[in-house]
A = this chain, B = another copy of it.
C-alpha cells in the first residue's frame, strides 16, 4: 500500500500547513468511492477514533476547496453538500433515484457544446455540471422506480 503518504506534499505545494486533520480528511476523500457529506466524514473519523470537531471538518473542507484539492457538489433535492477528492478528471454523475447512490461517468459529451454556447450567448464559459438521473440495475430488479407504482 502506497496509499497513505502521498498527501503531505500536496498540502505543502498548495501553501497549506501540514496538519493531521487535513491529511486525514484529504486521504479519506481520496479513498472514498463517491462524494460524501461533512457529517459522513465526521462520523467515519470518529469511528476510527480520530478526535475532531464538526466545525473543523467544515473549515478544513473550505480550505481544501479554496486550493482546489477537493470539489463541492449540491445535489437536487438534498439540502446538504457533498465533497469529493479532485483528481482533476472531468466527470459527470449518474444519480440513482432509488438508492441515492452516485456513480461517476468519465466520458463527457459536451466539449464542443461549450464553444457553440460561447458563440451564441457571449458568455465566457468556464465549466459545466451534468448530473443524469435514473434507476440503477439493482433498484430496477427490486421494482423500485417502475414507472409510478401508484400515487
- Assess whether B122 is in contact with A94, with CB atoms less than 8 Å apart: no
Given A74-B77, A79-B81, A110-B109, the answer on whether A134 and B123 have CB atoms closer than 8 Å is: yes
Chain B proximity of A66: nearest CB distance (Å):
9
**A130-B128 contact in complex given A74-B75, A121-B103, C-beta closer than 8 Å:** yes
Question: A117-B132, A118-B134, A128-B132 given. 8 additional CB < 8 A pairs?
Answer: A72-B76, A105-B117, A114-B132, A122-B136, A122-B140, A123-B134, A123-B136, A124-B140
A134-151 interface mask toward B, CB cutoff 8 Å, 1 = contact, 0 = none?
111100100001000000
Can you name the residue of chain B whose Cβ is closest to the Cβ of A108?
Answer: B113
Interface: A129 (CB within 8 A): yes
Taking residues whose C-beta sits less than 8 angstroms from the other chain, chain A's interface range is 35 or more
Chain A 78-99 per-residue mask, 1 if CB under 8 angstroms from chain B, else 0: 1101000000000000101100
A131 interface residue, CB < 8 Å from B? yes
Would you call A125 an interface residue if the criterion is a C-beta within 8 Å of the partner chain's C-beta atoms? yes
CA distance A63 to B126 in the complex (A): 36
Docked Cα-Cα span, A103 to B117, in Å, equals 12
